[in-house]
């Protein structure tokens, strides 16, 4: 039995697809694949008209995929610190009012060492007061997909969520969630290759913005702060309820 387990371990190690640049400390999107699409149906469903790629832009510039540092403007949210950890984080989506959505994804092999995937995000969303249970609202979501592109886990944030952790930001209807560590439990998928995906989107009807800054490493999950972390980071949130929503 020990020999069989040893052979399995060797096989896993030989085919291992490692995580890369989770914290963006290379100052770019090395290791990540970018995509953009349109939000045209429900914020719980895949995007339409999806294209892949990342246009390289200067630090702290405007655009869909941008690396930011501590000098990135807070855009009206006084407590919105632009970097989650260390020197750099990644901003997703432009600040224009279209129904554009922007995301990044990365595939890797799940091992016992990375089976609890912890990442940080800070989110800005405008509440459009849309009907239909919030499925038409601007959103930020994190997803896990298997090698066949089947959805395994989805975490969703939008302004209409009950008991959400959003705070009023500016202009009366725009909200932000300060830097928060979230978790994805990947332990059922040890030995498999999965894809982590993060997406920020404006609303369905073009009039309300949605964007986020992420730092896909979150080394301080207990909510205490240090000089390398946002001063308003709060505690880890657990996996979502069965409907996939964080409410």
DSSP category for residue 240 = P
Half-sphere exposure of 167 (CA within 13 A, CB side): 12
DSSP category for residue 87 = S
pLDDT tens per residue, the chain (247 residues)? 444 333 334 444 445 788 999 999 999 999 999 999 888 887 777 888 889 999 989 998 888 999 998 888 765 455 566 777 788 999 998 877 677 889 999 999 999 999 988 888 888 887 766 666 677 778 888 999 999 999 898 888 877 665 455 555 555 577 777 777 788 889 999 999 999 999 998 877 777 778 888 987 775 533 333 322 333 333 333 333 333 333 2
- This prediction's pTM: 0.80
Which residues lie closer than 8 Å to 165 by C-beta, 6 or more apart?
177, 180, 234, 237
167 and 177 Cβ atoms separated by less than 8 Å:
yes
DSSP category for residue 5 = H
d(CA 44, CA 89): 25
């Amino acid at each position: 039995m020990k020999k069989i387990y040893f052979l399995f371990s060797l096989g896993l190690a030989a085919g291992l697809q490692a995580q890369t640049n989770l914290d963006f400390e290379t100052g770019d999107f090395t290791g990540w694949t970018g995509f953009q699409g349109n939000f045209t149906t429900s914020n719980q469903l895949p995007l339409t008209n999806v294209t892949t790629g990342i246009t390289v832009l200067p630090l702290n510039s405007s655009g869909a995929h941008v690396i930011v540092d501590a000098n990135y403007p807070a855009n009206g949210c006084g407590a919105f610190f632009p970097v989650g950890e260390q020197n750099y984080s990644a901003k997703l989506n432009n600040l224009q009012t279209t129904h554009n959505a922007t995301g990044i994804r990365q595939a890797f092999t799940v091992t016992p060492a990375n089976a609890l995937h912890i990442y940080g995000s800070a989110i800005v969303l405008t509440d459009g007061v849309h009907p239909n249970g919030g499925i038409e609202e601007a959103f930020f979501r994190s997803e896990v997909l298997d090698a066949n592109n089947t959805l395994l886990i989805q975490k969703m944030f939008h302004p209409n969520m009950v008991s959400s952790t959003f705070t009023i930001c500016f202009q009366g209807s725009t909200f932000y969630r300060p830097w928060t560590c979230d978790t994805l439990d990947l332990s059922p998928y040890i030995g498999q290759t999965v894809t982590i995906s993060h997406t920020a989107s404006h609303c369905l009807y073009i009039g309300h913005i949605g964007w986020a800054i992420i730092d896909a490493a979150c080394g301080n999950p207990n909510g205490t702060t240090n000089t390398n972390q946002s001063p308003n980071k709060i505690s880890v949130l657990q996996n979502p309820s069965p409907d996939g929503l964080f409410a």
